[in-house]
Amino acid sequence: MRLIKEAEAPRFELPGLTFAGFAAPSRGSAELCAWRLTVAPGTAAPDAHTLDRDEIFMVISGAIRLGPEAEVVAAGDTAVVPAGAPIQLSNAGDGPAEVVVAIRAGFAARTADGAQIGTPPWAQ
């Protein structure tokens, strides 16, 4: 067993987003990745991306949308996004949203126009 303490989880920042890396191949999990995502109020991704694996979003607090016209995913809700479906994350509330995200290790992301993004550092 490998224990990843909250204070020791690596942090990664993008505008309006903070990723706290938990399970990943570099942290002892060969098959599953999981991280906590904090989405600041007013944050909205300008473009969609896709993944080659199913991704699960479990909202702990606040609310998000996974597309401009998508249903709100509120605290206590879980959204399952199938592989290949576009994801365009935004905060759907007035305060920060806290989300636990899980996906199979080794996934790859692509931009809406098909350009390879690869696997982000919080999932490596």
Q: Show the domain range for 109.
A: 16-123
On whether residue 9 sits in a domain, the answer given is no
Using 50, 70 and 90 to split pLDDT, how confident is the model at 3?
very high
Please count the other Cβ atoms lying within 10 Å of the Cβ belonging to residue 87.
18
How many angstroms separate the CA atoms of 10 and 35, rounded? 10
Assign residue 21 the CATH number of its domain: 2.60.120.10
On whether residue 3 sits in a domain, the answer given is no
pLDDT, one tens digit per residue, over 36-89 is 999 999 999 999 999 999 999 999 999 999 999 999 999 999 999 999 999 999
On whether residue 118 sits in a domain, the answer given is yes
Average pLDDT for 101-113: 95
What's the chain's average pLDDT? 96
In one-letter notation, the amino acid at residue 91 is N
On whether residue 6 sits in a domain, the answer given is no
| Number of independent structural domains in the chain | 1
For residue 18, give Cα distances in angstroms to 2, 11, 70, 103.
23, 7, 22, 17
pLDDT, one tens digit per residue, over 111-123 is 988 899 989 999 9
